[in-house]
Amino acid sequence: MRLSLIGKGEDLVEDKLKKWAIPCWLLDEQLESILYSNCSEHGKGDLLDLLEKNREEILGSLQKDGVVVCGDRNEYMAIRNGKGVLIQSIAGNKAKENLEIQADLSDELNKVLKKEIEQHQATQIKLKEHSAKLDAIFDSTALYIWTIKGDGTLTSFNRIFGEQMKVWFEREMKEGNSLIEEPYEQNIPEWVRFQEEIGACLEGRKKNIELQLLTKQEEKVWVEIYMDPIRDQDNDEIREVSCIGFEITEKRKIDEQVNQSLREKETLLQEVHHRVKNNLQIISSLLNLQSSYVHDGESQEVLKESQNRIKSMSFIHESLYMNKNFNSVDIQEYVKGLSSNLLYSYALNPEQVDIIMDIDELTLNIDQAIPCGLIINELVSNTFKHAFPNGRRGELKISVKEREGRMAILIADNGVGVPKEWKLEENETLGIQLVYTLTEQLDGDIEFSGERGTKYLITFDRIINQ
């Protein structure tokens, strides 16, 4: 029969006894009462009577605490930390073979228990070493570390936390103190926010928060805190929260300086785009004024086209400073404004031409938005000038789509179209040549169809702002 016993405290001993197949009893230090048994109550009275008669002899032989008695109804072995003593047989049977069995049992117990005790001692040493390392890390770190209950009571904290609370608020922190008993009224709203986050942690969620606190010296300090629930290993219940904090005052000051600088630059850029747009409008107005002194129809047409091109660029800068996004343009809003201006410029009745728009909600980099605007300006202008003569009614479709990073601009009408012999690549008008040049600038492709009206399709890769 092999027995094993290790550990301090009745609970550890009981755990061992439960696994033994032979009847066992755990007794107090003086062998006067039974603390635990893994079997029924049989033999309990006889065992106590037997121990009463042999108590002094047993206690004299076994000098360490913690006694376990094991055996059956007739013979018992008292064991203390690896040492065994045979107790007188209740039945009076002292046969030699039985004594040898008990002696063998005692030797086996000595070996097993000695090994387990040595293992236990080695484990205890490792635990102490590990605990010492953790304590050193806990107290030497520059982070503020503490644990807290739901009611705000501190259960533990490291050295730097206690020192900082004394420097900032002249508070001598002790375990059991309330962290949120704030002597400065200005800090109460911040501690209320902290308490709310603690409540969320007690529900099992990890949280973090930034607090702005006023010190005794009336200086504002910022602290960032990360909070984690502490779960009970036995029942998974959350009763405490661990907190790790560090000061971020300098970081917040730098962030504020950077944000202030960005706001100043945004204001400057906004003013630049506003002035560029105003200057372009002045140029457009000068061309308009110049056209009133030109009586040649062709010359007036050239001036009008130049005006529209300038306005298309002016709308870009207007969009940039109106939306306060200085690097990209909202294509939907831009095309709507551009087409309305061209309709007005060519004095067309809105009921004559039905403009159908199918434009994705997207923005374009300014380096692509300007050439795209000029392309749309030229092609829509051609439609208004040539597709619907003599008051003819019709439709103009403007589509801007993106598919897997590839932009597609479609300008199509159901007007009179072009002669069969007309070829886009052989056309030498300024407008068409400008469309070709701008498409090359976008590193794109252009397709044309003259059947049942005209249709232009320009495709290119979209540049995403970084």
CATH number, domain containing residue 351: 3.30.565.10
Report DSSP letters for 294-349, one per residue.
---HHHHHHHHHHHHHHHHHHHHHHHHHHHT-TTEEEHHHHHHHHHHHHHHHTT--
**337 and 403: one domain?**
yes
**226 and 356: one domain?**
no
pLDDT in tens, 23-59: 666 666 666 777 667 666 555 666 666 666 666 666 6
**74 and 18: one domain?**
yes
Query: 421 or 149: whose pLDDT is higher?
Result: 149
Given a contact cutoff of 8 angstroms between Cβ atoms, the answer to whether 17 and 4 are in contact is no
Query: By 3-state DSSP, what share of the chain in percent is helix, strand and coil, each rounded to 5?
Result: 50, 25, 30
Name which of 78-92, 210-224, 312-326 the model is least confident about. Answer: 78-92
- Average pLDDT (167-191) is 81
**352 and 293: one domain?**
no
**44 and 120: one domain?**
yes
What are 118's two structure tokens?
């040595």
Read off the CATH number of the domain in which 234 is found. 3.30.450.20
**362 and 389: one domain?**
yes
**152 and 117: one domain?**
no
Backbone angles phi, psi at 225, to 5 degrees: -125, 130
Query: Residue 445: is its pLDDT beyond 90?
Result: yes
What are 114's two structure tokens?
């000695």
- Residue 274 to residues 83, 316, 365, 367: CA-CA distances in angstroms? 97, 10, 18, 18
pLDDT in tens, 355-407: 999 999 888 888 888 888 889 888 988 888 888 888 888 999 999 999 888 99
pLDDT in tens, 116-147: 767 777 787 887 777 777 777 777 788 898 89
Percentage of residues in the chain having pLDDT higher than 90: 13
**355 and 391: one domain?**
yes
130 inside domain: yes
60 inside domain: yes
Name which of 343-352, 435-444, 447-456 the model is least confident about. Answer: 343-352
| CA distance linking residue 353 with residue 223, whole number of Å | 63
**191 and 235: one domain?**
yes
**278 and 224: one domain?**
no
**161 and 114: one domain?**
no
- Report how many domains make up the chain: 4
264 inside domain: no
1 inside domain: no
Percentage of residues in the chain having pLDDT higher than 70: 71
Model confidence pTM above 0.75 = no
| CA distance linking residue 327 with residue 369, whole number of Å | 10
Residue finishing a domain among 247, 278, 310: 247
131 inside domain: yes
Q: 353-359 and 154-157: which strand pairing?
A: unpaired
| CA distance linking residue 311 with residue 342, whole number of Å | 9
What are 324's two structure tokens?
């306060």
**339 and 454: one domain?**
yes
| CA distance linking residue 270 with residue 281, whole number of Å | 17
Within its chain, how far is the Cα of 158 from the centroid? 27
Tell me the three state secondary structure of residue 423.
coil
Tell me the three state secondary structure of residue 87.
strand
Given a contact cutoff of 8 angstroms between Cβ atoms, the answer to whether 453 and 412 are in contact is yes
Domain around 40 = 10-136
